[in-house]
């Protein structure tokens, strides 16, 4: 997979406000926040989009969700938050490195736009 700007954030080639890191993933503040808390959780493994994940990625995908839960709690939003994965251009994906959006700190409507 070609390198995206998220690979550059993982490699510290461009700056980001990192709030969590371990051997499998990185979480950092979104540069254009859509809520008082807007953090992206990304795998260090390059997966362009969720649709490209395989059974081999099962544990990693579970780890991303549990990490998102931990990050939301640690950022002061244990009870109310929204997780979003945009898969593909029509769904709103703009960076082709799998990421989970954590949004919290305001009310959210449904369905999303
Ligand atoms: P997508 O639209 O692919 O689901 O989400 C990509 C997200 O990455 C957007 O919310 C956008 O604001 C964020 N983003 C794009 N470029 C950067 C950047 O250079 N740094 C950070 N921290 N976030 C970025």
The whole domain housing 66 covers 5-104
CATH number, domain with residue 10: 3.30.428.10
Tokens found for residue 73 = 């709690």
Q: Is residue 63 flagged as an active site residue?
A: no
Q: What is the mean pLDDT of residues 50-64?
A: 98
Distance CA 95, CA 93 (A): 6
Q: Does residue 76 form part of some domain?
A: yes
Tally the domains of the chain.
1
Q: What is the mean pLDDT of residues 45-68?
A: 98
Residue matched to tokens 């809520």 = 35
Q: What is the mean pLDDT of residues 80-103?
A: 98
Give distance in angstroms: CA of 75 to centre of ligand 1.
19
Of 4, 14, 17, 30, the residue with max ligand 1 atoms within 8 A of its CB, to mutate for a pocket test, comes to 30
Give distance in angstroms: CA of 78 to centre of ligand 1.
23
pLDDT number for residue 46: 96
Cα angle 85, 87, 90; round to 5: 120
Selecting among 63, 77, 97, 99, the annotated active-site residue is 99
Q: Does residue 111 form part of some domain?
A: no
Distance CA 62, CA 82 (A): 16
pLDDT number for residue 1: 53
| Torsion 26-50-68-94 (CA) sign | positive
Q: What is the mean pLDDT of residues 97-103?
A: 98
pLDDT number for residue 112: 92
Whether the per-residue pLDDT at 3 is higher than 90: the answer is: no
30 contacts 84 by C-beta, under 8 angstroms: no
pLDDT number for residue 113: 84
Share of the chain above pLDDT 90, in %: 96
């Amino acid at each position: 997979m070609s390198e995206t700007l998220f690979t550059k954030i993982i490699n510290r080639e461009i700056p980001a406000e990192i709030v969590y890191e371990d051997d499998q993933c990185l979480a950092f503040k979104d540069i254009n926040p859509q809520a008082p808390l807007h953090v992206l959780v990304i795998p260090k493994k390059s997966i362009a989009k969720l649709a490209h994940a395989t059974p081999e990625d099962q544990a990693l995908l579970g780890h991303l969700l549990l990490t998102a839960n931990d990050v939301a709690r640690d950022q002061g939003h244990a009870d109310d938050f929204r997780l979003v994965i945009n898969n593909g251009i029509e769904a709103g994906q703009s960076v082709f490195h799998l990421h989970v959006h954590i949004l919290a700190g305001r009310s959210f409507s449904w369905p999303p736009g």
